Structure 1
Amino acid sequence: METKTETNLSHLNEFILLGFSDLPNLQHILFGIFLVIYINILIGNGLIIIITTSDAALQTPMYFFLGNFAFLEICYTSAVLPRMLSDLWTRNKTISLLACAAQFFFFFVMAFTETLLMAVMAYDRYVAICKPLYYTLIMNHKMCIQLVIASWISGVPILMGQTYQVFSLPFCNSNVLNHIYCDMPTLMMLSCGDTFWNEVSVYADTVLFGFFPFLLILSSYIRIFISIHKLPTVIGRSKTFSTCSSHLRVMGLFYGSGIIAYLQPKTSYITGIEKNLSLFYTSLTPLFNPLIYSLRNKDVILAIKKLFSKLSH
């Protein structure tokens, strides 16, 4: 299915996303599986958004951030799954240069926003547990809105420049991407130009939007654990830690899957290993997050019960 020529393809106007073309007999089965996953992501995260905005008991900074995080998860997975579902159903693997650049830009903006928003949520828990007397003063409504806006827009100008850099590269001999979406490493592997500065900027962005937020999250939870350890009763420690455990699980899933995928050797992009790993952080993590936040959270479960009770009447 590859499109190979002897000339430079720097003026190409489309790519070919291989996706799961190596499984021709399973295309419609895979379509059904990922359609169910996508619908559940929309329902689960949509439910979190509804209850955090409509239930009076959940009008706190923690649930304000949780509602924004659920909306972000919908946007994040929608940058990849609808296109993948369309390719599986129609078996049309081509994607225009403009559509590829748009998918690239929006996916990485959402990914960077997710790291920043998780850092904000960790900071919120740090203030609530370590500085409870100042919590309402520090985490006031204006501050919450500013932190959310900063999380959403901080990566936009950098990703605009990154997108321009990547799609200005000359692409040679092939326009085939062995992936389910337009990912940075696979795109740069097709380039016959000098990608050194592109790779440097990728690592710089990773440090800025991945490593630094991770350090902030780690620092917040180290201080939280120290404060929890000082609590006089085991019940008090357990109750305080339960408010943080869900966030830790979500953070572990996101960072764990991302690290495993992006620290793979370059051969993984040739053989397609990274393509399979990417399903975890683009599909399964957004699917599990609503369950993680709701199953052990009594406030969320109560709000869901109240919502269904109203709907049933």
Structure 2
Amino acid sequence: MTARFEDLPAQFTVRAPAKINLHLGVGAPREDGYHPLLTVYQAVGLHDDVTVRPAPDWSVEVAVPDWMDAGQLPRLEDNIVTRAADLLAAHHGVPRTGAVDVVKAIPVAGGMAGGSADAAAALVALDRLWGTGTTDEDLLRIAAELGSDVPFALIGGSALGTGRGELVQRVEDAGTWWWVAVPSDRGLSTPQVYRHFDELSPHAPAQPPPADDLIAALASGVPEALAAALHNDLQEPAIALRPELGDLLDRGEAAGALRGLISGSGPTCVFLCSSPDHAREVAATLADPDGGGEHPTVLVANGAVSGAHLVEYA
């Protein structure tokens, strides 16, 4: 039963994490144009917060840090938070109302699924604001309609994704992993990366092969084993389109990272490190212009972390 407006709390804040594709295998495009994926996700400690409050109409405001380009954010009518609200409201037959504030810390258009995190957080927050009591199964189904990465943003941790990435199953993860992330000051078109993948891989298999080595490395908890198993089929086409990303991967590994990887379709590059201190050392080297670094924004994050979760309400 839907709660009465006057009974609802003043606000809910839900936090959702960024993701890294530790393994991203891509198959040949299907007839519908989608590429079958087999991926192993990890949620890492870069988060967006979505706060919702009761309101008679609908609004979305987005705040970004100084290092992030607000010009890359979508218009209100195209915002995935609005689309998430539309689907949840239609599922329950309730009006789409509320004032939404999004505070971003996940790079925009960076291959770390910041938009998907916002959608997942909005679904959880609005479900509580509206008192609709959506089941976990229905939340995951709605999330899958919004995008391949949204179900994982709800679940978090480390997980295997199949289909287009939207079918998610947790995997054993015995480690605490440390990452350095270097966002780019300009985006990289995901459709363009996939098109270039098709050009470079005309004989890609209908279904990508399993990620057994990666899953075993997670279960081992050994950073060097995970470094050896990291894989991304989209890395080659992304570097072909933006060669400087390959240069950045080389610099990160020269700075001591166990392994560098492009996150998803890019352009954010991530570097696996062996400990918190090691991650801070690599980050400092990449950020230091006197040491050959040229990246004003370098982020450190741990994994795996929880999916979308309530952090406060009043």
TM normalised by structure 1 equals 0.26
Instruction: Indicate the structure (1 or 2) with the bigger Cα radius of gyration.
Output: 1
Give the number of the structure whose residues are more often strand, by fraction.
Answer: 2
> What TM-score do the two structures reach when normalised by structure 2?
0.26
